[in-house]
């Protein structure tokens, strides 16, 4: 089925189905890869294909985007398409290196200030 994302939380996304029924796509059912933040994959009002996993007696509907995509294209030969709005590996690596360099320089500054700000060795002070 196709639906529209009406809300995003840290644990999943709410999708309105045709007919006005709303279901939840748990974060584990968003993609075949680890999803830390759903906002990296989708935004509110995106149209998505979903598979209905279950409908509980209290009316709660469990949905899956991951299974709908896997079921829709059985001819895929193990290749994964990058989800919309997800940064590439190179982008992630560049961001990691930049953040790592910043943390390292902060650590060096903090360590030097505890040693006396790099004003010479301990022996020179006495």
Give the model's pLDDT for residue 88. 77
Structural domain includes residue 46: yes
- Cα distances (angstroms) measured from residue 30 to each of 25, 82, 90, 107: 7, 12, 22, 37
pLDDT in tens, the chain (126 residues): 899 999 999 999 999 998 888 999 999 998 888 888 888 888 899 899 999 998 888 888 999 998 888 765 444 444 455 555 667 778 788 888 888 888 898 888 888 877 765 555 555 555
pTM: 0.54
Structural domain includes residue 39: yes
Same domain, 95 and 55: no
Same domain, 6 and 53: yes
The CATH number of the domain where 67 resides is what?
A: 2.40.50.140
Give the model's pLDDT for residue 78. 44
According to the 3-state scheme, what is the secondary structure of 15-65?
Answer: EECCCCCEEEEEHHHCCCCCCCCHHHCCCCCCEEECEEEEECCCCCEEEEH
Same domain, 67 and 100: no
**Domain that residue 105 falls in:** 89-116
């Amino acid at each position: 089925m196709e639906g529209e994302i009406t809300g995003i939380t840290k644990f999943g996304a709410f999708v309105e189905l045709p007919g006005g029924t709303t279901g939840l796509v748990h974060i584990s059912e968003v993609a075949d890869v680890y999803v830390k933040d759903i906002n990296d994959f989708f935004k509110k009002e995106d149209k998505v294909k979903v598979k209905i996993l279950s409908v509980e007696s209290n009316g709660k509907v469990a949905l899956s985007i991951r299974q709908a995509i896997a079921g829709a294209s059985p001819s895929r030969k193990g290749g994964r398409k990058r989800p919309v709005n997800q940064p590439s590996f190179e982008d992630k690596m560049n961001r990691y290196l930049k953040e790592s360099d910043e943390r390292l320089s902060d650590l060096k500054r903090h360590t030097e200030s505890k040693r006396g700000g790099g004003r010479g060795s301990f022996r020179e002070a006495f």
